Amino acid sequence: MTALLTIIIVLFVAVALWQMVKIFDLAQVGTTNTQVADDHDNKINGYLMIGFLVFIYVITILCFWYIGDLPLLSNAASEHGAEVDNLMIISMVVIFIVQTITQFLLHYFAYKYKGEKGRKALFYADNNTLEFIWTIIPVIVLAGLIIYGLFTWNDIMNVDEDDDPMVIELYAQQFKWTARYSGNDNVLGKANVRLIDIDRANVLGVDEDDPNAQDDVVVSELHLPVGKQVVFKMRSQDVLHSAYMPHFRAQMNCVPGMVTQFAFTPTVTTEEMRQNPDIVEKVQHINELRKDRMAEIEESGQELRYEFDYLLLCNKICGTSHYNMQMKIIVETQEEFDAWMKEQTTFPNSLN
């Protein structure tokens, strides 16, 4: 009923606007109605261009003032995170400077050189010097950003096997994540989706006869030791997913039929991040919002109080429940990680 009333109201408003336009047209009978802009029109448009220039600058300043605090760009929790943040900040500064200058020139020139009767615009048919300048400057700036980005990317992706990084598999499927640790031998057992056996609880299709799979550990919550490099081997069972761990500045597509890889070293434990002033403020704000939805949250069986945790998210729209495809990540000390690992069941013992 509400939808029907809304449609009726919208129709009435549309009819009213149509009638107002007809009345306005009738009121213009006998007046000059030319489509050619005169000096008065050009002057108005010139002032409007200056007004819009002021508007976008004011909006930009207000955005920086009220919502310019971006703690995510200052709370990286991996070794390479600071480099990624630095690259992002440099790119944003360059974009902001270029945008400020070009928008000023665009709107100011539109005002200064607005059309006036009897004045002919000065123009260059060609100017090699100007063309060289506005071509070489973007080339130099973009080349610098690209080269810096490539060096940063290579530093992230080049894994030194001599450092003996921990190997973990991330397995994506609609709409959940599963992790598989490589065990004491630090070698993952072979796996194939054709070997999936739901009746035996072999949900990852791990080869049960592979010797390297006998000490693998399959879990639904990811634990990482702080200061230890981790190499993630990623697979997808069904569609394209993307493993996204924002605080670790890590993202890699999970592609059906192939294994992709990403590595990083966590540097901040979960408990340490929970004490970060930015995170504390953010958590307090979230809990204040959740109080307004207390009845709804309690009815759904969730805990009312939110507590910060690192998360593994899916950053590709993979289906109806994509928004809820996530897994908790806990970064802890090596001693805490070892104690947790001892409590886990190895792959052979997890089968039915």
My answer on whether 247 and 152 are in the same domain is no
Report the number of distinct structural domains present in the chain.
2
335 and 223 co-located in one domain: yes
Specify whether 277 is located in the same domain as 165: yes
Instruction: Report pLDDT for 148.
Output: 92
pLDDT value at 114 more than 70: yes
Q: Do residues 142 and 196 share a domain?
A: no
Higher pLDDT, 126 or 26: 126
Residue 45 CA neighbour count, 13 Å, CB half: 12
Mean predicted lDDT score pLDDT of the chain:
87
Is the pLDDT at 5 greater than 80, yes or no? Answer: no
137 and 174 assigned to the same domain: no
> Is position 7 within any domain?
no
Q: Are residues 169 and 145 in the same domain?
A: no
Structure tokens at 204: 């990852």
Q: Same structural domain for residues 148 and 212?
A: no
- Angle at which helices 39-67 and 81-112 pack, to 10 degrees? 160
The per-residue pLDDT for 254 is 93
Residue 68 has pLDDT above 80, yes or no: no
Same-domain status, 76 and 149: yes
pTM score: 0.76
Give the H or E element holding residue 28.
Answer: none
Segments forming the whole domain that contains residue 235: 161-350
Question: Where residue 192 sits, what CATH number does that domain have?
Answer: 2.60.40.420
| Cis before 109? omega within 30 | no
Whether residue 196 sits in one domain with residue 140? no
User: Per-residue pLDDT tens for 261-287?
Assistant: 999 999 999 999 999 988 898 899 888
Judge whether 120 lies within some domain. Answer: no
Would you state the pLDDT for residue 127? 85
Is there a single domain that holds both residue 322 and residue 193?
A: yes
Coil, helix or strand for 298? helix
Task: Answer whether residue 340 is part of any domain.
Answer: yes
Q: What is the DSSP string of 240-303?
A: -EEEEEGGGTEEEEE-BTS-EEEEE-B-S-HHHHHT-HHHHHHHHHHHHHHHTTHHHHHHTT--
Section 309-338 average pLDDT? 92
Please check whether residues 148 and 169 belong to one and the same domain.
no
Q: Is the pLDDT of residue 290 over 80?
A: yes
The answer to whether residues 87 and 179 belong to one domain is: no
pLDDT in tens, 173-215: 988 999 999 989 999 999 988 888 888 888 888 988 889 989 9
Q: What is the arithmetic mean of pLDDT over 147-165?
A: 86
